[in-house]
Amino acid sequence: MKRFGKLSLPYLIWMILLVIIPLMLMVVLAFLDIQGLDFKNASFTLENFKTTFTSVYIGAFFRSIKLAFITTLICIAIAYPAAYFISRSNLKFKGLILVLFILPMWSNMLLRIQTLNRMLLPEGFIKNVFGISSNLAGTEFSVVLAMVMLYLPFMVFPIYTVLEKIDYSLIEASQDLGANNRKTFQKVTLPLSLKGVASGIIMVFLPCATGFTIPEIMSGGNMILIGTIIEQKFKQGVSYNIGSLISMVIIVIIFLGIYLIGKFDAEGETLL
């Protein structure tokens, strides 16, 4: 027990310095009338809530949720068949496909986003190769496309891992009892794979809803999402309180969403 305590000490220090203290500072700033980090002239206030829950911020929040929701649905629609196909492939072919999914993740994220953005510009790759002038750059479509490109592997691998671990004897038993392939998938494979789907949803939806890099680059800074608002508030250096409050609200919503997914019970067992 003492040995375990010593081994966990670096982790505890890391958590305290980089997670707990920043979270506590964020909560404190959310309730202060303060310019920058001038704590000497700061005072307690609830006015930050009025500023935060305005039409601009609420609109940005729902737009972020909408784009994240669309991205997650597209990722599920692509990832589940892909993961199912990989899990049923022979070993050599399976390894090759997994490597193809992993390879793009080795390259720089910003490089991939910038490359896609250049392709969608009116005089970009599509125009030069196909002779078609593209007006997709700076649209919601381009943002969703970039997020799908980046986060699709994070949906594929959890689903694949769960599908790979399914006891094939259960599928054989279902078929022996007269169930066809569709019925077997519906009653056996799909319910047993929902843990992977739930994990993939968390790993895709959360960064899509709160990120600012992709919307900033793909929209040219013209699309206001909740992540870009938080980035601007902290970047300005004078609105840490508003940025902290928005972040705090998002964290609460995120934990609530994770809790609800964890409580979702299809067969009497939690998904997480």
Residue 107 belongs to a domain with what CATH number? 1.10.3720.10
**How far is it, in rounded angstroms, from Cα 197 to Cα 180?**
23
Look at residue 82 in the predicted model and tell me its pLDDT.
92
In this structure, how many other beta carbons lie within 10 angstroms of the beta carbon of residue 247? Answer: 22
Residues 231-251 pLDDT 10s: 888 887 778 889 899 999 888
Look at residue 270 in the predicted model and tell me its pLDDT.
47
Look at residue 109 in the predicted model and tell me its pLDDT.
87
Q: Is residue 251 part of a domain?
A: no
Average pLDDT over residues 146-157: 94
Q: Is residue 72 part of a domain?
A: yes
Q: What is the mean pLDDT of the chain?
A: 84
Q: Is residue 154 part of a domain?
A: yes
Burial of 139 (0-12, 13-18, 19+ CB in 10 A): middle
Q: Is residue 169 part of a domain?
A: yes
Q: Is the pLDDT of residue 211 over 50?
A: yes
Q: Is residue 40 part of a domain?
A: no
Count structural domains, the chain.
1
- Which structural domain, as residue segments, surrounds residue 121? 67-224
Q: Which residues have CB under 8 Å from 194's CB, separation 6+?
A: 266, 271
Residues 43-93 pLDDT 10s: 888 888 888 888 788 999 999 999 999 999 999 999 999 999 988 887 777
Look at residue 76 in the predicted model and tell me its pLDDT.
96
Average pLDDT over residues 184-190: 87
Band of pLDDT at residue 223, cut at 50, 70 and 90? confident
Q: Is residue 266 part of a domain?
A: no
Q: Is residue 18 part of a domain?
A: no
